[in-house]
Structure 1
């Protein structure tokens, strides 16, 4: 047995006196999903059972719809198996719809949904990654919800919206400002959503969330990565807290070890953690949409 030195005894005693228990970690990180154990699965842990997600072959086609005098370009994803399916409107962010982001919409439709994805930049022949926000996009999203509900191959009379980054702001405006949450939208899903006016001041970007959040009423599910940028994290944490206090059914999932874009990162930078987060978020989104549309 190693002999304890006076120095080691004094150090150990000082830790106890300071209230630091040697068996506890130096840093404890608590995420919302850990506090309520929403990820826990007794069927898996005790019986070894895994839930098998629904899988569908999916087709993709370019479509358009009119919003006033603007012909909005979009993509429609749907299972190739004939039948009616639950409808989702997916809204892209600053990257737009390209070879990285289109497959992530296909992966959503493959759970058994019809997904309409408006292409804002293609509609206006604009390059991706704009700095300024175009308010007309918000109205095009709202109109897209109407168009989706006119289809005869959908189930029900409401849609859910799914969006990432700035698309989260566009769908928020469509639901609140253009009032689609009143009778046409059943739920809202945001992947690392930009919950602030993109044209707002630095102070607004860092310390405040968009005022429309205070009027959001539909069940809401939000995904972010642990390494998301601070000016995105803070408004999301604050906004979800406020929504919960207002009685809105809101859930925030924070994935350890990943940052923004975990759901569409390309092969040369994608990590195992990205894959796990993307698969988990995909299935949680599918379950959440079915819960509120059926």
Structure 2
């Protein structure tokens, strides 16, 4: 099991993101890389940047939304990412993920969608106003003078997947303002719907995505989350959508957020590989502009 995960990570340092539903063995799989296997080449094109963090606020409908912006500290311009947290909010672990993204060479704006609306962490119900607050954050990001181009990519974790989906589709920001969508084990159903919808359906908005999509998930993710995300990915792909599905064998829920005694070697390998793949995915769609 560990050998399979390690192969995925090492290949991830070189291989481009390719979706595959076949067995996770042999060349030709999404994790395979000839450069590593034949020549020993490992991670030659992923740079590390020192990160600086800025705190700001923006307003929507008389609500003040705090946000953090993480970016390379060298003063140069970089591609833009709008990042959305899940139920846990923009806590310490979430901020670490934002900084890890910025260290890959991005300007990442991550709103704290709960504080301005006095929502406690880990809410059960979803407040639809948060989607509008996140959409307003996209305006704030695209107005910055330190980003490359005039579009951003959306990257999210868990329930943030639903919020970014609504920004792209319901708020009509895809294509013109948003170039791609990436979700770590994303929730792609309205959280306020009942159990049958959570297990057997996904948000119809997903079928309306017109931009490239990447989903990164462990094969031991919660059943309802994994099933719904896979149905959404397959449905969009069947409609001709550009979908990359990355599934890590032996990896469970929250692999990029477990810390301390809860973190495993497999979690760390998956998290590093996922960061490389998201980096390449975003650069592919923003640096070409």
TM-score of the superposed pair, with normalisation by structure 1 = 0.87
Could you say which residue in structure 2 is the equivalent of 1:231?
224
Pairwise CA distance, 1:55: 0.3
Structure 2 residue aligned with 1:216: 209
Relative contact order, higher structure (CA 8 A, sep 6+): 2
Q: How far apart are residue 133 of structure 1 and its match?
A: 0.4
Matched, 1:165 2:153: no
1:112-147 per-residue CA deviation (whole Å, 9 max, x = no partner) reads 100000101122232110010001110111111111
Provide, for residues 38-83 of structure 1, a one-character-per-residue CA deviation record: whole Å limited to 9, x for no partner: 2211011001111232100101122111223222111110111111
2:30 to 38, 52, 61: 38
Q: Is the 8 A contact 2:152 2:180 kept in 1?
A: yes
Question: Structure 1 residues 243, 32: CA separation in 2 closer, same or farther (over 3 Å shift)?
Answer: farther
Tell me the TM-score normalised to structure 2 length. Answer: 0.89
SS of alignment partner, residue 50 of structure 1: coil
Larger radius of gyration: 1
* Equivalent residue pairs, number: 265
Structure with the bigger percentage of strand: 2
Structure 2 portions without partners, runs of 5+? 1-19
Q: What SS is found at the alignment partner of 2:42?
A: coil
Aligned to 2:6: none
Query: Match of 1:62?
Result: 55
Other structure's SS at 1:61 match: strand
* Structure 2 SS opposite 1:156: strand
> Aligned to 1:87, what secondary structure does the other structure show?
strand
- Name the Cα RMSD after superposition: 1.4
Query: Quick one: distance in 2 between partners of 1:155 and 1:32?
Result: 37
Which whole-Å CA distance do the structure 2 matches of 1:244 and 1:198 have between them? 23
Q: 1:101 to 1:149 in 2, by over 3 A?
A: same
**Residue 226 of structure 1, CA deviation:** 1.2
- Separation of aligned partners in 1, 2:121 and 2:170: 25
Q: Which of 65, 74, 78 pairs up with 2:71? A: 78
| Residue of structure 1 equivalent to 2:274 | 281
Q: Which residue of 2 aligns with 1:242?
A: 235
Unaligned 5+ segments in structure 1 are 1-29
